[in-house]
A = this chain, B = another copy of it.
Amino acid sequence: MSDDLRDLPLRERKKLRTRLALAETALRLFTERGYDATTLDDLCDAVEVSKRTFFRNYRSKEDVALAADSDLWSAYLDHVGTRKMNGPLIEALRVALDTTLSTMDPDWDRRFLAARELSEAVPALQAHSLGYCHDTTRALVEVVSGRSESDIDEVRLRLTVEIFVAAWRTASLCWTAQGGHGGREALAKLVEETFAEIPAALAASA
């Protein structure tokens, strides 16, 4: 995860640096001045790059705000793609998320919390973030379904993954609501507790 060290060609180091500067400054400006009130020109001025360069690093204004989300999901898919899982699927998915969380960059917590708070406030970010989740479910279904050992029904599999994501979203919402206190460990704990709540949630009466 943390291989942003000096083992890269100078050119790539520079590129990575502006990439990080864009994400960092974007997060700061968006939280300070508000998402809509901050134009991409503002951001590019602050980082001293051309707007064209911004779009070579991020596909949209939403993308740069939700870089932390993107980081998590791509790391998660990498992890699930390499390791093979056994036992109850939904539990395996949760454990994989657990280990993925623990491998994230040290300051990922902060960035992720900021991204979540932004996405609570800005509908466009909300939608974009949900889009990430959806893409991930689709990829997950493909990965798990592609394994030889699993001859599970496609619809059932999709439902499992959807419920997994539903629990994740509920947990991370709680975590954000309480200010992200306790960092990723607290988040992982919330995820576990939320998963444990599923049977009760299904049995709940109006």
Chain A interface residues toward B at CB < 8 A? 84-90, 92, 123, 126-128, 130-131, 133-134, 144, 147, 149-150, 152, 155-160, 162-163, 165-167, 169-170, 173-174, 194, 197-198, 200-206
Contact = CB atoms under 8 A, between A and B. Distances in A.
Given A158-B170, A165-B166, 14 more contacts: A87-B206, A90-B204, A123-B131, A127-B127, A127-B128, A130-B130, A130-B131, A155-B197, A156-B204, A158-B173, A159-B166, A159-B167, A159-B194, A159-B201
Complex copy number for this chain? 2
B149 A206 contact: yes
Contact of A127 (B131, B155, B160): B131
A150 B204 CA distance: 10
Contacts of A144: 206
Which of A144, A156, A166: most chain B Cβ within 10 A? Answer: A166
B206 A86 contact: yes
A137 to B, nearest CB: 9
Contacts of A133: 130
Contacts of A173: 158
Nearest to A158: B170
A156 B200 contact: yes
A191 to B, nearest CB: 12
A142 B164 CA distance: 23
B166 A204 contact: no
A78 to B, nearest CB: 17
A173 B147 CA distance: 23
Which of A147, A162, A174: most chain B Cβ within 10 A? Answer: A162
A90 B130 contact: no
Contacts of A131: 123, 126-127, 130
